[in-house]
Amino acid sequence: MSKSIKHHLTDDLLMAYAAGNLPEAFDLMVATHLSLCDHCRARAESFEAVGGQVLEDQAQTAQMGSDALAATMALISQGAPTPKPAHKKCAVLPAPLQDYVGGDVNDIRWRPVGMGVKQAILPTTNEATARLLFIPAGAAVPDHSHRGIEMTMVLQGAFSDEVDHFARGDVEIADQDLEHMPVADISEDCICLAVTDAPLKFTKLMPRLFQPFLRI
């Protein structure tokens, strides 16, 4: 399945994840991608191994006291565990997301945000927002830009925007310079996980009316 993934996580994100430095919403994004992507999971494991080795080397050369060494080893062991691959091939939501939703797609409590698009905000700490997005087959998400980073990962169906075509497991990382309008493929309704670290600002008048409902 993951052989078809074209758009992956960056080294920065994987390192921050391995170090346990990400806001909860981004942590969830990385964990969800890793559960679908052998390529990124292998990279994440290598970062975790390198991080542990660096700390061990430092401990030896600095001749740290036993307390400091114990504290360091405790930190390493607290590092984010690398998620196991998704077992149930039939599930739309990978395990890390199922924990937030309390089930699979049928358990998502959608709220309409206009033009057939629906979303479900997931409960995370408030430095960043995680939400599931439902885009009807062939429909578009309002043209928007954002003040911070926006990451979108496809869970079902696929979408295209000005950048490329994105299918299950693909992650689009958009910074504030990208104004884009994702359009779902006509063949299937598209479900995505979207994570943002600042509120989106919509660039057209009509969608702006929907922003209060999006609560992001």
Residues that bind Zn ion (CB under 5 A): 8, 37, 39-40
- Three-state SS for 60-113 is HHCCCCHHHHHHHHHHHHHCCCCCCCCCCCCCCCCHHHHHHHCCCHHHCCCEEE
For tokens 């709220």, name the residue: 111
What are the residues whose beta carbons fall under 8 Å from the beta carbon of 121, sequence distance 6 or more? 129, 130, 131, 215, 216
Identify the CA nearest to 28 among candidates 48, 46, 45, 13.
13
Query: Shortest approach of Zn ion to residue 95 CB, angstroms?
Result: 16
**CB closer to Zn ion out of 34 and 117:** 34
**CB closer to Zn ion out of 39 and 201:** 39
Phi, psi of 75, deg, nearest 5: -60, -45
Please give the structure tokens belonging to residue 161: 């925007």
What are the residues whose beta carbons fall under 8 Å from the beta carbon of 136, sequence distance 6 or more? 116, 117, 184, 189
**CB closer to Zn ion out of 7 and 118:** 7
**CB closer to Zn ion out of 29 and 37:** 37
**CB closer to Zn ion out of 30 and 140:** 30
**CB closer to Zn ion out of 7 and 146:** 7
Query: Shortest approach of Zn ion to residue 13 CB, angstroms?
Result: 10
Give how far Cα 147 sits from Cα of 65, 84, 172, Å.
Answer: 45, 33, 16
Query: Shortest approach of Zn ion to residue 33 CB, angstroms?
Result: 6
Query: Shortest approach of Zn ion to residue 99 CB, angstroms?
Result: 20
Query: Shortest approach of Zn ion to residue 162 CB, angstroms?
Result: 22
Q: How far apart are the first and last CA of the chain?
A: 32
Query: Shortest approach of Zn ion to residue 2 CB, angstroms?
Result: 7
Identify the CA nearest to 119 among candidates 136, 104, 103.
136
